[in-house]
Amino acid sequence: MANWSTLNMEIISPNAAEAQKIHTAIQQANRVARKAKTGMFIGSTTRYLFESDFDHLDGSIYLFGMTRWTPSHQEFADWVRWFMGQGQISKLEMRYEESGNLIYGCYTFDGTILSDHYLPSKYFPRYDERDPDCWPEILRTALNKHGERTYIGKIAA
């Protein structure tokens, strides 16, 4: 049985028109997924986005969802390429969390370079059920303090 990974993406385009192109492509992918009652295809043949939600504000798109297991470096690169095929991207950040396997981090695309800033499992904080609202901040603090960076590669525009 797969562990579910929660994903939160922010896709930043150089302008609202380019962001609208990407947003329209996500809307279409979402329609196809809902009609087929499956996850949303956004560029990876091995990793689909389930229970997705998205929003668009000016030059930014916010995309949320879940995957079965955390996407690999290759799958993240595939997603970035798919988004780039829809419209111009200045930056993309994707926070991922799979607490069941002590996995948390943030994939980043800066317009050229792909990287992964992840929290080694030995530093994964203990979950406190008394204050679940603080959990995202606890994870971000642990990542900033103990996180390690991995260079994934380059993608040319």
Residue range 89-141, pLDDT digits in tens: 999 999 999 998 999 999 999 999 999 999 999 999 998 788 788 999 999 99
Confidence (pLDDT) at 3: 85
Select the more confidently predicted residue: 3 or 69: 69
The pLDDT tens digits of the residues spanning 5-61 come to 999 999 999 999 999 999 999 999 999 999 999 999 999 999 999 999 999 999 999
Question: Residue 89 in contact with residue 12, Cβ under 8 Å?
Answer: yes
CATH number of 4-154: 3.30.70.1270
What is the residue extent of each domain of the chain? Answer: 4-154
Question: Residue 152 in contact with residue 77, Cβ under 8 Å?
Answer: yes
pTM of the model: 0.93
User: Rounded to whole angstroms, how far apart are CA atoms 95 and 101?
Assistant: 15
Closest CA to 48 of 2, 93, 105: 2
